[in-house]
Homo-oligomer: A and B are copies of this chain.
């Protein structure tokens, strides 16, 4: 450590929000260069490389072949896939000296597809699993939390190529299994959640989320069944339809100035309807403009029970790949039949507005909703009898206590950090690039693809987030920058020589040893050892004269004295033992 390029900081950096960011900076693992851009100092780089090596070994174990693409990528293939436009502001774009357009690649589907198409032409060449561990770029609107969400980061991205769906499922399962082994080896606590596809298009999709309170991803799970899903992917439990027999006819009321759900509920409870009315009895209609890629803006109304908001993420995912925006006053002015605050299903449908409702609005449910006239609502409007929507949409917010889609219990919410994604892309890119090979029957077969990612550099922060205490970092053995941290806490020349020899002996036994041979005080050294987070700390201190050294377990905090002359064997054994 007297030569290691390292300076630890006593205080948290001013702009650091989350524990991993604070500790990785304080312990000298990374340093900021610009927003979302970090340099890796020696200790951080060691952790990063160990994570890479775990990821690489598991990818090789499922037959993955490593290749490496440039990060600087020409526009052409992104035009073909339409992502040059779709990426919007989220990527870095640039021109070369000849004025040609380039992108700093956020992901490489296009180039893997083109490469496989260029090299292979027969079904005999498949299945094929390729991957790279590569630097990626995203121009995040709000880079945050240090390396948790940077603008330059390292990802492992894999792509599978198969001639049939069976092959794709096998590749998907193989990657899913490899990811489970990777995160287990890295000591990450995680859940696998169902996910919708997002901008990537395609079918089956799951995310690996590290459990963390500082995570940006909200997911829900059912403790009874183990079901877990991204909020975008939650499928609402659909109630049974209700028979129309005996349901009262709708009645229109003058409700006064009641443009909000709260004022409407107040009116209803004062109107003598003969029952307690809540927001859940009302039907709220939200007006949007939607545009399919290459299409025109069209009106869309979304009906949800009045006690729920429309969730922007769920709405976006449900409308994908269309873009959408809320109606503004000018839009309302253009469509006089839209009476703001009093919009009802009948007016929407009569005027040809596409109308999608929450799955809870099944046939036979009866609603208090707008009557399409200022100050007027209708009570007892029955779905399937008095109005028939154009379909359902998963846009209403998901709440704790909602029934689990599998019927096993209720949902609870949790936060996580996305660390992996497995995804059956299907033929989105092979269609775009006509990636066909000759099939067994001599006819062309369109390839089908899977896409799989692990956030390699992010994992450094994720693991720091999950494994730290108030004193500092606590690395799992598999990725600690060193196996053992030997602290010289005795100024005696004999102790110093003994500690140096002990470090050399441990090194010759295959352990990576960090020797604190600085001239600092024992107190400073102990604090640094706790901050740096190497799992085993050996203190050569006052006990040296009595033939003992101290072995501290950074994880449990346990410390015990061991005989100096048996220290090498004891420490090797301790580091080799599985940890709780």
B-contacting 9-mer, from A59-67, A286-294, A324-332, A493-501: A59-67
CB–CB B97/A141 < 8 A: yes
CB–CB A5/B42 < 8 A: no
Q: When the two chains form the complex, which single residue of B70, B89, B93, B94 contacts A37, counting CB atoms closer than 8 Å? A: B70
CB–CB A74/B5 < 8 A: no
CB–CB A40/B68 < 8 A: yes
CB–CB B42/A66 < 8 A: yes
Assembled-state Cα–Cα distance A74/B38 (Å):
12
- If the complex has contacts A42-B66, A45-B66, are A71 and B31 also in contact, measured as CB distance less than 8 A? no
One digit per residue, 1 when the CB lies within 8 angstroms of any chain B CB and 0 when it does not, for chain A 64-98 equals 01111111111000000000000001001110110
Chain A 96-115 residues near chain B, CB threshold 8 A: 96-97, 102, 104, 111, 115
Indicate if A7 sits at the interface (CB-CB under 8 A).
yes
Indicate if A4 sits at the interface (CB-CB under 8 A).
yes
Indicate if A175 sits at the interface (CB-CB under 8 A).
no
A67: nearest chain-B partner, CB-CB: B41
Indicate if A152 sits at the interface (CB-CB under 8 A).
yes
CB–CB B67/A45 < 8 A: yes
A308 to chain B, nearest CB (A): 33
Indicate if A524 sits at the interface (CB-CB under 8 A).
no
| Residues of B contacting A69 in the complex (Cβ-Cβ under 8 angstroms) | 33, 39-40
A114: nearest chain-B partner, CB-CB: B33
- Number of identical protomers: 2
Assembled-state Cα–Cα distance A452/B47 (Å):
26
Indicate if A546 sits at the interface (CB-CB under 8 A).
no
Say which size band chain A's interface belongs to: 35 or more
- If the complex has contacts A94-B93, A96-B92, are A71 and B70 also in contact, measured as CB distance less than 8 A? no
Indicate if A120 sits at the interface (CB-CB under 8 A).
yes
A42: nearest chain-B partner, CB-CB: B65
One digit per residue, 1 when the CB lies within 8 angstroms of any chain B CB and 0 when it does not, for chain A 132-158 equals 000101010100000000011000000
| Residues of B contacting A120 in the complex (Cβ-Cβ under 8 angstroms) | 7
| Residues of B contacting A72 in the complex (Cβ-Cβ under 8 angstroms) | 34, 37, 92, 104, 137, 151-152
A155 to chain B, nearest CB (A): 14
CB–CB B39/A130 < 8 A: no
A86 to chain B, nearest CB (A): 16
- If the complex has contacts A74-B34, A92-B96, A96-B92, are A65 and B4 also in contact, measured as CB distance less than 8 A? yes
Indicate if A119 sits at the interface (CB-CB under 8 A).
yes
Indicate if A353 sits at the interface (CB-CB under 8 A).
no
Indicate if A128 sits at the interface (CB-CB under 8 A).
yes
Q: When the two chains form the complex, which single residue of B3, B65, B92 contacts A5, counting CB atoms closer than 8 Å? A: B65
Q: When the two chains form the complex, which single residue of B4, B38, B45, B130 contacts A70, counting CB atoms closer than 8 Å? A: B38
A11 to chain B, nearest CB (A): 15
A-B contact pairs, 20 of them (CB 8 A): A4-B65, A5-B65, A7-B120, A28-B119, A31-B118, A33-B69, A33-B111, A34-B70, A37-B70, A39-B68, A39-B111, A39-B115, A41-B67, A42-B66, A42-B67, A45-B68, A70-B152, A71-B135, A72-B151, A89-B97
Task: Given contacts A33-B73, A97-B141, list 16 more A-B pairs with CB under 8 A.
Answer: A4-B65, A5-B65, A5-B67, A5-B119, A31-B115, A33-B69, A33-B70, A38-B70, A39-B68, A39-B69, A40-B68, A40-B69, A70-B152, A92-B94, A92-B102, A96-B151
